[in-house]
Structure 1
Amino acid sequence: MSFGPTHFAPVLAALAQRHPQLQVQASYTDRFVDLIAEGFDCAIRVGHLTDSSLLARRVGSTTAKYVASPDYIRKHGAPKTPEEFVTHEVVMQGTETWMAMDSDKVISMKPQGRFKADNAVALVAAALAGIGLAGVPEELISGHLASGALIPVMPDYPPPDLGIYVIRPPGQNPARKIRVLTDMLIECYGHFSLVAASER
């Protein structure tokens, strides 16, 4: 979610510098690309994986928060539970299912919203404008939280951590360039585990 230019571009630049013979062509988008149909070797995805025949390597994780602007809260109040959350207007990518943690239990939510965008930076802008609640990675909103422009909501039911994954088409062994990229991401983002893309 909009991590590409800010977080992953420096890693790809370092990859190109470290391996001068490697051709690097990157596309920075929050939409889910069809790796095979669109000719991508791999993708870096942040979030919760959907069922897929693709293979995924977890290279790290990040945290997210549910937030709203002070203006939205003044007009509509702040939800305290998942049941209240789904009655509010949200800004979102599409028709995705959202999740909240109740201790070690995951609660699924199907919120509704009239503002949709395929980019998390745009969703943050909409939340700042008071259009609705947003669920976004903390790295994208830390300054807004510090200034009070965005306020956390539903703190007793936070979203689960977001995994950072390298996704590739199925096959026996990943190409060396994918292994090298994966290793560099692990250097930057910490612990990892090998999972099938159907695992959450």
Structure 2
Amino acid sequence: MQWAGISEFVHVAESESFTLASKKMSISTAQVSRQVSALESRLDTKLLYRTTRKVSLTEEGRIFYQHCRSVLDGLEAAERAITNLQSKPRGKIKLTAPITYGEKMIMPLVNNFMKQHSEIEVYANLTNQKVALVEEGYDLAIRLGKLADSTLMAKKLGKRTNYLCASPAYLHQYGIPHTLAELTKYSCLLGTLDYWHFREAGKEKNIRVTGRLRYNSGYSLVDAALKGLGIVQLPDYYVQHYIQKGELVTLLDNFREPDEGIWAVYPQNRHLSPKIKLLVEYLSKYIV
């Protein structure tokens, strides 16, 4: 069997773009196009529909892709098996995580991990946008909260708690709320959403809140709360330190929503990779 054009075809099929496929393979778009065209000529079969806006598979292309994907998965599994025999895990890990949580919690752990494994390379993209792992060639994603149903694999690393809190000075001046309905009487420090999450009588409840400031930065909201500008709802990694020091006071604890999961998510064909398995195990050891 001739292998020329197989990888290029699979990358185009998965990304629906010659340009994206060329970026993933670090070769020119023209080279990808030439290889796929040569493959079609060799098979005497049209594998792809090409328009100015989109690339899609023909019926023959879908059948051929399924077989090619299985073959490439088998080759990757063979490479992983050889890597697993080596004393040191090696190779590149491409991962993504939310910006703030990634900066504060994930990347310091990744840096410690890299100090222990000198032959592993890491490319990290911290973004609050949900990245398409398979299509964009990622090995691993860190995601927070509820996971959407998908074909991706997931391992729970830990959990996070959302706290409602305010400074003692603010509460001394305006009083302490005892019910969810009372929140409308207070200045609420808003993030990107107009509502806060709670749990009442065993059911999830979203309360719409208002205030005179809105920031898309958790650290800025914490600073506002510390300076007595109002009540804030934020995850533990923003506020726990200040709660422990008494600089912030938790509120309406009986209505706090259940803890959210912190997840390592990865494509199915990555779950046997020694370097990915090692990193996920390392993160799960230190994230609680």
TM-score range relative to shorter protein: 0.7 to 0.9
Unaligned runs of 5+ in 1: 191-200
Answer yes or no: is the 8 Å Cα contact 2:151–2:268 preserved in 1: no
Q: Which ranges of 4 or more aligned residues in structure 1 deviate by more than 6 Å?
A: none
- Which structure 2 residues correspond to residues 119-134 of structure 1 after superposition, within 5 A? 119-134=217-232
Unaligned runs of 5+ in 2: 1-97
CA distance in 2, matches of 1:115, 1:26: 32
1:49 paired with 2:49, answer no
> CA deviation digits over 1:114-156, x for unaligned, max 9?
4333332222112112232112233432342244321111122
CA distance 1:59–1:127, change in 2 (3 Å): same
CA distance in 2, matches of 1:53, 1:118: 28
Residue in 1 that maps onto 2:131? 34
AA aligned to 1:67 is C
Answer yes or no: is the 8 Å Cα contact 1:115–1:131 preserved in 2: no
Residue in 2 that maps onto 1:81? 179
- Which structure 2 residues correspond to residues 1-200 of structure 1 after superposition, within 5 A? 2-28=100-126, 31-35=128-132, 40-46=138-144, 48-49=145-146, 51=148, 53=150, 55=152, 56-95=154-193, 97-102=195-200, 104-168=202-266, 171-174=267-270, 176=273, 177-189=275-287
Aligned residues: 186
CA distance 1:75–1:54, change in 2 (3 Å): farther
Q: CA deviation at 1:60?
A: 1.0
> CA deviation digits over 1:26-66, x for unaligned, max 9?
3445x3343458765433233x2364657443211132321
Structure with greater helix share of residues: 2
Higher relative contact order (CA 8 A, sep 6+): 1
> What CA RMSD, in Å, does the superposition of the two structures yield over aligned residues?
3.1
AA aligned to 1:172 is Q
CA distance 1:5–1:156, change in 2 (3 Å): same
Answer yes or no: is the 8 Å Cα contact 1:35–1:41 preserved in 2: no
Which structure has the larger Rg?
Answer: 2
DSSP 3-state at the match of 2:103: helix
> TM-score normalised to the size of structure 1?
0.72
Answer yes or no: is the 8 Å Cα contact 2:189–2:232 preserved in 1: yes
CA distance 1:11–1:147, change in 2 (3 Å): closer
> CA deviation digits over 1:89-138, x for unaligned, max 9?
32233126432233643322232344333332222112112232112233
DSSP 3-state at the match of 1:112: coil
Structure with greater strand share of residues: 1
> TM-score normalised to the size of structure 2?
0.53
How high is the sequence identity, in percent, across the aligned residues?
26
Answer yes or no: is the 8 Å Cα contact 2:162–2:233 preserved in 1: yes
CA distance in 2, matches of 1:121, 1:52: 31
